[in-house]
Structure 1
Amino acid sequence: MHGNSVPDSYVYVTEEGVARHYADGSVDALAWEDVVEVRVEGDSETESDILYILLDRGGQGCVVPKSATDTTFLARLRYLPDFDVERLGEAVEGLGEGHVVVWRSPDPPSPLPDFEYD
């Protein structure tokens, strides 16, 4: 009997964020409100898949293979402020070595509050 093999990872996209669950039980997750950069990169392991890399201000992120995305993921990217879908498409089509930054948050990092000491 032949069945489908278990995928090495799967992706959940919600209104709150995106999470990639791996076969070993580990999870990469990021809230949409924390996303400050979106990159597109070729997957050197499969040489056929595209990776979407979402990063927060600390450099932590969530790597989402294009093969694991659906219209929900792409539609949710459009809600990022000033996200350019055409730029994303051009980056995916013309992807070569390395990565391409397709979006950065237009909001500067929040400054730390000034504390007044007595």
Structure 2
Amino acid sequence: MHGNPMPDSYVYVTEEGVTRHYADGSVEALAWEDVVEVRVVTETGEDVLYILLDRDGEGCVVPRSATDATFLARLRYLPDFDLDRLTLAADSAHDGVVVVWRSPDPPSALPDLEYD
């Protein structure tokens, strides 16, 4: 029986966040409220990758081939997100990594805790 090969991963975009399920069973997930940086990775002959990161550097890697209008529309809700900048970085002929957005809100300071 010949069928379409199983994709390497699935990406789900919801109002709450982005989740990527890999064929090996591993999962990356990030809530929109935790996203502090968006990067675009381009490499000749490879799929463009969108990388969403949280304050700890953890995140979710989303291949452009797995994105749809929902993903792009949701990115626009990030404060001052520039969709044109994302498009220019993704369509760039140069290999590399471009930070296309950073949260305008600085990380909140940890409270000083006193222990007995």
Q: Shorter-chain TM-score: what band?
A: over 0.9
Q: Answer yes or no: is 1:36 the counterpart of 2:25.
A: no
Say if 1:43 and 1:51, in contact at 8 Å, map to a contact too: no
Q: How many residues align?
A: 116
For 1:104 and 1:23, locate their aligned partners in 2 and report how far apart those are by CA, in whole Å.
30
The aligned runs of 1:1-118 (5 Å cut-off) are 1-43=1-43, 47-115=45-113
Say if 1:39 and 1:52, in contact at 8 Å, map to a contact too: yes
After TM superposition, the structure 1 stretch with the greater mean CA deviation from structure 2, 91-100 or 33-42, is 91-100
Say if 2:20 and 2:62, in contact at 8 Å, map to a contact too: yes
Give the secondary-structure state (helix, strand or coil) at the position aligned to 1:75.
helix
What do you get for the CA RMSD once the two structures are aligned? 1.6
Q: Which amino acid aligns with 1:85?
A: L
Give the secondary-structure state (helix, strand or coil) at the position aligned to 2:90.
helix
Unaligned runs of 5+ in 2: none
Mark the CA change 1:113 to 1:48 in structure 2 (over 3 Å): closer, same or farther.
same
Give the secondary-structure state (helix, strand or coil) at the position aligned to 1:58.
coil
Q: Determine what percentage of the aligned residue pairs are the same residue.
A: 76
Superposed CA deviations along residues 69-97 of structure 1, whole A, max 9, x for unmatched, are 11000100000010001111111122512
Unaligned runs of 5+ in 1: none
Say if 1:41 and 1:95, in contact at 8 Å, map to a contact too: no
Task: Output the TM-score relative to the length of structure 1.
Answer: 0.91
Task: Output the TM-score relative to the length of structure 2.
Answer: 0.92
